Amino acid sequence: MGAQGRANPVRLGIIGCGKIGTVHAHAAAASDQIELVAVADVQRELAEKTAAVHTVETIYSDGADLLADARVEAVVLALPACFRIELGMQALHAGKHLLTEKPVARNADEVRRLMSVRGNRVVACCSSRFQFLESARLASDWIGQGKLGALRLIRCRAIVPARSAPETLPPAWRLSRELNGGGILVNWGCYDLDYLLGITGWRLRPQTVLAQSWRIPSAFAKTVAPESDAETHITGLIRCADGIALTYERGEYTAAQAEASWEVIGEAGSLRLWMTPAQGKKILYFEGNSEKGTIPQILWEGNEDYNEVNRAILDDFAVAIRTGRSPKTTLERSLLVQQITDALYRSAQTAQAVEIVECASFEQRRV
């Protein structure tokens, strides 16, 4: 429908026109809440290509120049994590609303820096992607209605086996502690944690973390950039208040069978979920029955795609700007995700249990 469908679309700029930046540009073009007015990338040819596809007249080679553009009222940061905080700080100081790709930061202190200068601007985080799916909304409602009883265990196990060596290696930042803040945990763990915390109502209070991580197996070392120094496989136990535990495992480049499951288990029932969009996707509900035992059933079945979630992130951001309500994942909620992430890394590095002393208050919201 495009920006012409609304009288007052949010005038958006995108910094970073690589793979995920082009995803945002396509989503903006499909949204009636957004008008894409400027793009920027240090590789100008990428910005020019994106601008040509979506008829954007203003192109910058420097993100700071885009932030100085008075027409731009909101900005998407779609570039590696090591560049996001300083640009995010500049954006907020310039009075721009901010949608930041994941991971929002490399550690909790960087999230707090953004919080300290946010003021009345909307800041939204893309780790919320999969919460916008119909299946996630249904699961959240089901859990919120108490259908599972008191929660006991929240679980994620997502394993991707190693594949043959690619013709082109992945970008170096993807497995760089300095550039990205970590490896598979920050690349996908922020999604997993945001999703599981979100569908359980952001009520979990993590207290203690015990974790182990591993770098890429030597047999597969040639499938990633030579300077890669971050983990490709991590597992952890997160003990929460009220007798709830969260078990987590993510792996890629593994010599293991593929698996992808997300579960919420209560004393009266459980849900087995698939987080990412898929065709023929199902939510399985296992009901505890005093006479018949555990009864399995299909709670929901349908088709979902990535275009849906990518557009929903921008629409949610735009509506939050125009109405003053909070976006799906705020900086407070991102801080909680980052605190768990930091604790998983610290525990894996020290081989000790780590306490999360200052658990983020996810009830705080922008007013």
Domains of the chain: 3-129+310-329 (3.40.50.720), 131-303+335-355 (3.30.360.10)
Residue 141, CA distances (Å) to 225, 244, 285, 367 in order: 42, 19, 13, 25
Spans in the chain with pLDDT lower than 70 = 1-6, 359-367
pLDDT at res. 167? 84
Q: Do strands 123-125 and 58-60 pair parallel, antiparallel, or not at all (unpaired)?
A: unpaired
Residues 276, 158 contacting (CB under 8 angstroms): no
pLDDT at res. 357? 83
pLDDT at res. 363? 44
Q: Do strands 281-289 and 206-214 pair parallel, antiparallel, or not at all (unpaired)?
A: unpaired
pTM of the model: 0.94
Report the distance separating Cα 132 and Cα 136, nearest Å.
Answer: 7
Report the distance separating Cα 265 and Cα 281, nearest Å.
Answer: 19
Q: What is the pLDDT of residues 162-215, one digit of tens each?
A: 988 888 899 999 999 998 899 999 999 999 999 999 999 999 999 999 999 999
pLDDT at res. 166? 85
